[in-house]
């Protein structure tokens, strides 16, 4: 999406949502790398948070019509919260809310995170849970994808963004600023925790090059190293509870 097209699509989304919800609309916020002006991928998504004062079934129906053009432009549907839900859900969505809070641009209304408080204990718990869940899933998928080096390479590349988001939370738990870009977040976590950055750099190189020859032994060795380093991150988060 070009910058001009992006601006028009966002403007239309804001206009359509305002027309659909009127006084019930509290705020519209663009969040993520695009909000920070650091688009990391050519076709990266534009993530939008819509906060309403109340959400009934009729409000959802009105939202469907208001977001139709946005969806037709290939963008993900906005995330909808009520004002009360946003305040009360910080204990179960600390990672997601931190991502929104870290890089956001208010398109309409007030700042939705002005009164949202995120507990370090809840952040630590969700970070370990998500890391362990994705780690187990990665091992499970290896079994079905290991017959193809192309599939195995794609599995690592596709999982990278999810782990990068969790690495940002790890940095915050250690009292460090978390970069917006996935590559910077992972590299800073590698430095902080003394990890071997080789598998992460290998993935970043494959993401940038799009096409490259793959050698079975190399891909399997990198996958093994990838698992080892993620396991070390999990151990580091687990130890925070006992320090």
Q: Considering the domain boundaries, does residue 115 fall inside one?
A: no
What CA dihedral angle connects 169, 76, 9 and 168, to 10 degrees? 10
Average pLDDT over residues 83-112: 90
Interval 67-80: pLDDT, tens: 999 999 899 999 99
**pLDDT tens, residue by residue, 6-34:** 678 899 999 999 999 999 999 999 998 77
DSSP code, position 112: T
Spell out the residues 6+ positions from residue 176 whose beta carbon is closer than 8 angstroms to its own. 188, 192
Q: 136 with 166, same domain?
A: yes
Q: Give the model's pLDDT for residue 212.
A: 67
Question: Could you identify the residue written with the tokens 């004062």?
Answer: 53
pLDDT: which is higher, 116 or 183: 183
CATH number (domain holding residue 79) = 3.30.460.10
216-242 residue pLDDT tens: 999 999 999 999 999 999 999 999 865
Query: 231 and 125, same structural domain?
Result: yes
Q: Which domain holds residue 201?
A: 120-240
Computed over every residue of the chain, the mean pLDDT equals 90
- Whether residue 181 lies inside any domain: the answer is yes
The count of C-alpha atoms lying within 13 angstroms of the C-alpha of 242, restricted to the half-sphere facing its C-beta, is: 5
> What is the tens place of the pLDDT at every residue in 191-213?
999 999 999 999 999 988 766 68
Instruction: Tell me the sheet residues that pair with 49.
Output: 29, 79
User: Are 178 and 210 in the same domain?
Assistant: yes
Q: In whole angstroms, give the CA distance from residue 61 to residue 74.
A: 20
CB 12 within 8 A of CB 71: no
Tell me 32's DSSP state.
S
Which of 84, 109, 134 is at the close of a domain? Answer: 109
Q: Are residues 9 and 93 in the same domain?
A: yes
Quote the number of domains for the chain: 2
Whether residue 184 is found in the same domain as residue 81: no
138 & 160 share domain = yes
**80 DSSP β-pair partners:** 50
């Amino acid at each position: 999406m070009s910058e001009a097209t992006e601006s028009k699509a966002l403007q239309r989304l804001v206009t359509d949502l305002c027309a659909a919800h009127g006084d019930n609309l509290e705020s519209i916020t663009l969040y993520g790398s695009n909000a920070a002006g650091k688009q990391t991928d050519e076709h990266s998504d534009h993530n939008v948070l819509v906060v309403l004062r109340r959400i009934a079934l009729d409000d959802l129906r009105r939202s469907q019509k208001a977001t139709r053009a946005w969806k037709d432009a290939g963008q993900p549907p906005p995330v909808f919260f009520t004002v009360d839900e946003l305040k009360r859900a910080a204990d179960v969505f600390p990672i997601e809310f931190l991502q929104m809070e870290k890089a956001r641009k208010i398109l309409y209304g007030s700042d939705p995170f002005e009164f949202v408080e995120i507990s370090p204990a809840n952040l630590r718990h969700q970070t370990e849970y998500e890391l362990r869940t994705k780690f187990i899933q990665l091992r499970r998928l290896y079994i079905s994808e290991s017959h193809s080096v192309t599939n195995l390479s794609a599995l690592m590349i596709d999982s990278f963004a999810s782990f990068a988001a969790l690495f940002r939370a790890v940095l915050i738990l250690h009292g460090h600023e978390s970069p917006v870009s996935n590559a910077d977040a992972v590299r800073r976590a590698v430095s902080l925790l003394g990890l071997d950055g080789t598998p992460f750099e290998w993935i970043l190189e494959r993401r940038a090059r799009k096409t490259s020859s793959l050698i079975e032994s190399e891909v399997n060795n990198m996958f093994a190293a990838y698992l080892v380093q993620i396991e070390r991150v999990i151990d580091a988060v687990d130890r925070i509870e006992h320090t």
